[in-house]
Amino acid sequence: MKIRTVLSACYKLKERLKNKVIIFFYSRYMKRLTKKVSCHRPVRILFYVYNLPMWKSDRLLSLLLKDSRFEPIIVSYPKTSDSPASKRKLEIELSTHFGRLSANYMSGFDFEKNELYPVSKFNADIVFYPQPYKNKLKEMPRKVLLAYIPYCFEMDNMKRITNTLYQNLCWKYFVSTSLHKELKIRQNYNKGSNVVVTGYPLADDFYDGHTPSADMWPSANPDLKRIIWAPHHTIRPKEWLDYSNFLDIAEQMIEIATKYKDKVQFIFKPHPLLKEKLYNIPSWGVERTDAYYDRWLRMPNCNLAEGDYVDLFMTSDALIHDCSSFKAEYLYVNKPVMYFTMKERFDTFNSFAMECYKVHYHGSTIADMESFIDNVIDGVDPLYDKRTKFICDYIKPTGNTTVAENIYDELCKIFE
């Protein structure tokens, strides 16, 4: 056992040294590349999009489309393991959405060869990948500047997702809060030298003053409280992240929805990846999964929401979840929120996540959940003041600029 431990430690040390050497030499190369890209007109910016719920940059895209110095393009980035039908559905969703914005959209997947097109096909100067986790060095383009806008609030302290090679090699790494920058300075190989605090892009949607639509709620009756249940997708027992309690409470949530039918309307808001994972679990499969989702559509006081969630959050009264980014995202609406966990595992939380957790109500049993629901019905919210202070101190945008404008201004610095 000791020999294995020593060998594992040696391997990790070798990987760290290798990554540090790569980052050192790449940072020198990136200076020359930045100068070269700055001479291009227009600068061609490629945004890979994994799916619409993970895309948060419509406002940034709008700013870039108005600036003749930039040429933004949107390219789909589906999982190669997804079914052909899922990939086709994604293409339709993305082309429809970005078509409405008059953006240049292209498919990133070669259906004949069943593989992603190489990035060289799109002749980009700057490339935004949607996720930083699985990009290997040999797959990264050499002649473009890499950039990253986190698709969610970064909540984890696991180095395999917080200190990836991609994050260290980025020309610009846009983070949500000053707490996140402090974490990157402490954790990352490059000491956060590429990190810029701009705010979280989705914040602009909550503070733009628009009137949210409540069409997704089954009833307009003001006496019925509106509660969202949002389970995470990490349901497999050996996943390196295991937030989700879905398999433990799926049927009980149906019972709760039925029990409170005269007082509460519920919306089931599963993570976009949950359905595909349920399809591949023998005890669930396609038939049972589709039937379960359909039950939420058929119950008179319930509905299913699988797309955009800004208006959903704004028109709700409370949220019950076991997700990662929702720990911060739901705080924008400053309403009661319960983090429901049966695992009592917080070792993966970073310092920002723990601060968010402190302004949540907590539950690990159905009785805890029902107590929370009863308080929502009665308008009892003892964490309101504490939650409000945290929102103002850390996540609410400050100043007169939007988050999209902050990121846009940073991109414009390439011309200086």
The fraction of the chain above a pLDDT of 70, given in percent, is 88
* pLDDT-wise least confident of 3-7, 262-266, 320-324: 3-7
Q: What is the pLDDT of residue 315?
A: 97
pLDDT at 68: 95
Q: Which residue from 382, 344, 342 is spatially nearest to 364, judged by alpha carbons?
A: 342
Q: Which residues contact 197 (CB under 8 A, 6 or more apart)?
A: 175, 176, 177, 178, 180, 181
pLDDT tens figures, 263-279 = 999 999 999 889 989 99
pTM of the full structure:
0.83
Q: Is the pLDDT of residue 343 over 90?
A: no
Q: Is the predicted pLDDT of residue 24 greater than 80, yes or no?
A: no
Residue 319 has pLDDT above 80, yes or no: yes
> What is the average pLDDT value for the chain, to the nearest integer?
87
Nearest to 407 by CA among 176, 185, 141, 206: 176
* pLDDT, position 7: 39
Q: pLDDT category, 346, cuts 50, 70, 90? A: low
Q: Which residue has the higher pLDDT, 132 or 288?
A: 288
Kindly tell me the sign of the dihedral angle through the C-alpha atoms of 175, 178, 179, 181: positive
What's the pLDDT score for residue 137? 47
Give residue 375's pLDDT. 98
Q: What does the pLDDT look like over 120-158, one tens digit per residue?
A: 899 999 999 887 655 554 456 678 899 999 888 887 776
Q: How far is CA 229 from CA 47, 170, 371, in A?
A: 31, 36, 15
User: Where do the domains of the chain lie, and which CATH numbers do they carry?
Assistant: 17-206+399-415 (3.40.50.2000), 225-395 (3.40.50.2000)
Region 36-47: mean pLDDT is 91
Q: What would the pLDDT profile of 74-104 be if each residue is shown by its tens digit?
A: 999 887 777 888 889 989 999 999 999 999 9
First to last CA, the chain: 56
User: Residue 241 above 90 pLDDT?
Assistant: no
Instruction: For residue 52, give the DSSP letter.
Output: G
Q: Identify which has the larger pLDDT, 354 or 344.
A: 354
Using pLDDT thresholds of 50, 70 and 90, give the confidence band for residue 1. very low
Beta strands at 225-230 and 264-268: parallel, antiparallel or unpaired: parallel
